[in-house]
Amino acid sequence: MKNRVVLAYSGGLDTSVAIGWLSRDLNADVIAVAADVGQGGEDMEVIRKRALSCGAVESVVLDLKNEFADEYCLPALKANALYMDRYPVVSSLSRPLISKHLVTEAQRFNANVVAHGCTGKGNDQVRFEVSIAALDPSLKIIAPVRDSGMTRDKAISFATENNLPIEVNKKSPYSIDQNVWGRAIETGFLEDIWNAPIEDIYSYTAAPNTNNAPDEVLFSFQNGTPVAIDGKTVSMLEAITLLNARAGAHGIGRIDMVEDRLVGIKSREVYEAPGAIALITAHQELSNVTMERELARFKRQVDQRWTELVYDGLWFAPLRRSLDAFIENAEQGVTGDIRMMLHGGRATVTGRRSEESLYSFELATYDTGDQFDQSMAKGFIEIFGLTTKLAALRDRKFRNGK
């Protein structure tokens, strides 16, 4: 029987070649599925037609921008998701969503195989395959670049020999993945970790310039969700898009780091995520004002665990659902406004206000109106420090204080 393969199609060289490659090697009908997760660039209709010219029997384009923003970026914002304290898990968020739709399309077209264009060295292969297996374990998964020797050189000769409508020389020296939450740039000269990034690699951000006039933004959140920017109601997608433009114009959200991949490799990654960084910065500060201390401390650990789980490709794991339930509950009351200054590569919070604020002027002030009874502090410290004091006395007696 002829195989039917659903291929995660980007429109680029590798996945375009994969259409012909899979048809030949697997004796398969290939159904190309391209997902719009806000990556911008080429027109999705051009991409859809290209798959057909490359030999796909069906070609589908899915507009997943709102679903991506609402169901993936928003939970990441609520979790203040920054892997290794810096990377806003841009690619890690899109893979499970794309996988979900690959599975739906596979079921709709009666396909028995799902294919993706990842190499064997990255995290994305893990994210795709774990997600697909979780959603439909009966599907076979193949990755031609990794599993069937489709190297770059072979891909280029295949494209030329078969007259595929793709410009093989136009392939950039970098591996780039982008969506509305941000953009990742890897490989090429960046693999020498002493090399500084050059201006050319950026596209979501302008070079930070302190001579530009600052831009002030007012964020309004309701239970952790951004609901308005400068008083105007926005959807999550609109909030991200707007902030990508405004924070991007000030060079905010550029990240250059060496990252621990799940597969064990340390890799150099450059990211730009202006909207994500501005939103997370605002959300973190509003949480500082509205979230009770013990909950906030515990939530930081939950946030980190959530982020590592999602980075590692375990979006569909039961633990993520349970952590999300905790986070959702913790976010009740993260409501109010944040004022932020965008300038010279920095997003700086300059004001916060909230009806659910736990900040009490009367308790915090050092001026008149102080209602904090300082006389109670003495006894509190005495008892709070008691166990440390007892242990220190004991250690002085038996071990010279060590």
Catalytic residues: 14, 95, 124, 175
Residue 251: exposure state from Cβ atoms within 10 A (0-12, 13-18, ≥19): buried
Contacts of 87 (CB under 8 A, 6+ apart): 255, 257, 259, 269, 271, 311
The binder of ligand ARG chosen from 10, 39, 91, 179 (CB under 6 A): 91
Distance in Å, CB of 300 to ligand ARG, minimum: 21
The answer to the question of residue 99 lying near ligand ARG (CB under 6 A) is: no
The binder of ligand ARG chosen from 16, 39, 94, 123 (CB under 6 A): 123
Beta carbon nearer to ligand ARG, 62 or 273: 273
Beta carbon nearer to ligand ARG, 175 or 332: 175
Q: Can you tell me the distance from the alpha carbon of 314 to that of 390, in angstroms, rounded to the nearest whole number?
A: 46
Is 76 in contact with 310 (CB distance < 8 Å)? yes
The binder of ligand ARG chosen from 27, 160, 175, 365 (CB under 6 A): 175
Adjacent-strand bridge partners of 347: 342
2-18 burial: b if 16+ Cβ within 10 Å, else e:
ebbbbbbbbbbbbbbbb
Q: Can you tell me the distance from the alpha carbon of 176 to that of 53, in angstroms, rounded to the nearest whole number?
A: 24
Helix (H) or strand (E) holding 81: none
The residue range among 96-104, 106-114, 174-182, 378-386 that interacts with ligand ARG, by the rule CB under 6 A, is 174-182
The binder of ligand ARG chosen from 177, 272, 285, 303 (CB under 6 A): 177
The residue range among 122-130, 282-290, 316-324, 330-338 that interacts with ligand ARG, by the rule CB under 6 A, is 122-130
Q: State the alpha helices, DSSP H only, in 83-199.
A: 90-108, 124-135, 144-147, 152-161
Q: Could you tell me the CA-to-CA distances from 105 to 4, 34, 98, 173 in Å, in that order?
A: 11, 11, 10, 32
Beta carbon nearer to ligand ARG, 125 or 290: 125
The answer to the question of residue 269 lying near ligand ARG (CB under 6 A) is: yes
Between residue 202 and residue 221, which ones bind ligand ARG under the rule CB under 6 A? none
The answer to the question of residue 172 lying near ligand ARG (CB under 6 A) is: no
Is 239 in contact with 275 (CB distance < 8 Å)? yes
Distance in Å, CB of 343 to ligand ARG, minimum: 28
**Count of other CB atoms within 10 angstroms of residue 186:** 18
The binder of ligand ARG chosen from 14, 58, 124, 285 (CB under 6 A): 124
Beta carbon nearer to ligand ARG, 4 or 183: 183
The residue range among 47-55, 65-73, 173-181, 278-286 that interacts with ligand ARG, by the rule CB under 6 A, is 173-181
149-180 burial: b if 16+ Cβ within 10 Å, else e:
ebeeeebbebbeeeebebebeeeeeeebbbbb
Residue 249: exposure state from Cβ atoms within 10 A (0-12, 13-18, ≥19): middle
The answer to the question of residue 186 lying near ligand ARG (CB under 6 A) is: yes
Q: Give the total of residues touching ligand ARG (CB under 6 A).
A: 12
Percent helix, strand and coil across the chain, each rounded to 5?
45, 20, 35
The answer to the question of residue 255 lying near ligand ARG (CB under 6 A) is: no
Q: Which strands form 232-233's sheet, in the order they lie side by side? A: 232-233, 225-229, 215-222, 336-343, 346-353
Distance in Å, CB of 174 to ligand ARG, minimum: 8
Q: Could you tell me the CA-to-CA distances from 55 to 35, 155, 331 in Å, in that order?
A: 19, 15, 48
Beta carbon nearer to ligand ARG, 266 or 394: 266
The residue range among 5-13, 52-60, 116-124, 312-320 that interacts with ligand ARG, by the rule CB under 6 A, is 116-124
Beta carbon nearer to ligand ARG, 176 or 218: 176
Distance in Å, CB of 117 to ligand ARG, minimum: 9
The answer to the question of residue 92 lying near ligand ARG (CB under 6 A) is: yes
Beta carbon nearer to ligand ARG, 122 or 253: 122
The two tokens of residue 2 are 């002829």
Residues that bind ligand ARG (CB under 6 A): 91-92, 122-124, 175-177, 184, 186, 259, 269
